[in-house]
């Protein structure tokens, strides 16, 4: 990597005077600053290069400034979870304080039952819609009539139902009760902001005339995926 400055060109046969000699060396001294040192980003590939400096007791010493820079990039990447330079990535977090209407871990037949959990929009949220991921399973046939409601709680504001999703569960393959099914719902970004608490309430209307599923729909888990600012918890 050359320096980002020039020096006096001496032609063959020229007399090297003290002023030229000293001036050129002073030029190097004057330009010995970060803005006059070439980069380690000549290409996208080079821009992304990192170097593992090892661990305590197994250090891998750098032998050049380039390796020092790559080592620092590696450390930044570990703190940000992604490569050293991206500012955002998709993060997944579980819901908190899951509450069941029944002790069965799911939604039984012939009754209106709920499973709900809370999630606070963290300071690391960057932008875009949330993806609500719901995992369920059941052993039987027919359709369980279900809804997924999202409520918002904000300091100084009344609680608000911001979105409702049709969450009906249909399983036409009896005997496969251990097969988990995932369904995704998108929560619109204009409905929430950092600091809001969101309540996700998944209910089954088991006594509904259209609920033809006679078994229990079991809850296997849920999470929230969102675009996060890298490096923030």
State the CATH number of the domain containing residue 197.
Answer: 2.60.120.260
Give, as one character, the DSSP assignment of residue 83: -
187/163 same-domain check: yes
pLDDT at position 84 is: 81
94/147 same-domain check: yes
58/139 same-domain check: no
* Integer Cα distance of 165 and 171 in angstroms: 19
124/215 same-domain check: yes
Q: Can you spell out the DSSP letters for 71-118?
A: HHHHHHHHHHSS-SS-SEEEEEEE-EEEEESSTTSEE-TTSEEEEEEE
Q: How confident is the model at residue 215 (pLDDT cuts 50, 70, 90)?
A: confident
User: Would 44 be classed as within a structural domain?
Assistant: yes
Is the separation of the CB atoms in 69 and 40 below 8 Å? Answer: yes
Contacts of 143 (CB under 8 A, 6+ apart): 168, 169, 170, 210, 211, 212, 213
58/103 same-domain check: no
For residue 187, which phi and psi values (nearest 5 degrees)?
Answer: -100, 120
Mean pLDDT of the chain: 88
Is the separation of the CB atoms in 167 and 107 below 8 Å? Answer: no
Decide: residue 204, CB within 10 A, 0-12 exposed, 13-18 middle, 19+ buried.
buried
> Domains in the chain: how many in total?
2
The upper half-sphere exposure of residue 101, i.e. CA atoms within 13 Å in the direction of its Cβ, equals 15
pTM of the model: 0.74
The pLDDT tens digits of the residues spanning 136-147 come to 988 878 899 999
The pLDDT tens digits of the residues spanning 35-91 come to 888 888 889 998 888 899 999 999 999 998 888 989 988 888 888 777 887 888 899
Write down the residue that tokens 């570990």 correspond to: 78
Whether the predicted pLDDT of 177 surpasses 90: no
Whether the predicted pLDDT of 173 surpasses 70: no
Tell me the mean pLDDT in the region 171-182: 70
């Amino acid at each position: 990597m050359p320096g980002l400055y020039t020096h006096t060109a001496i032609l063959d046969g020229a007399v090297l005077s003290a002023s030229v000699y000293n001036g050129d060396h002073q030029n190097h001294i004057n330009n010995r600053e970060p803005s006059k040192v070439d980069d380690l980003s000549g290409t996208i590939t080079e821009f992304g290069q990192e170097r593992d400096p090892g661990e305590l007791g197994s250090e891998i010493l750098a032998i050049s400034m380039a390796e020092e820079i790559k080592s620092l990039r590696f450390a930044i990447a570990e703190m940000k979870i992604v490569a050293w330079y991206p500012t955002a990535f998709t993060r997944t977090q579980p819901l908190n304080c899951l509450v069941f209407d029944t002790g069965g871990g799911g939604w039984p037949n012939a009754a209106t039952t709920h499973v709900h959990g809370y999630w606070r929009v963290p300071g690391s949220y960057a932008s875009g819609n949330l993806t609500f991921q719901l995992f369920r399973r059941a052993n039987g046939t027919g359709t369980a009539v279900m809804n997924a409601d999202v409520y918002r709680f904000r300091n100084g504001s009344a609680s608000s139902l911001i979105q409702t999703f049709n969450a009906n569960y249909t399983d036409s393959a009896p005997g496969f009760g251990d097969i988990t099914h995932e369904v995704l719902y998108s929560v619109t970004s204009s409905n929430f902001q950092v600091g809001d608490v969101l309540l996700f309430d998944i209910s089954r209307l088991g006594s509904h005339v259209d609920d033809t599923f006679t078994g229990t729909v079991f809850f296997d888990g849920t999470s929230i995926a969102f675009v996060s600012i890298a490096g923030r918890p």
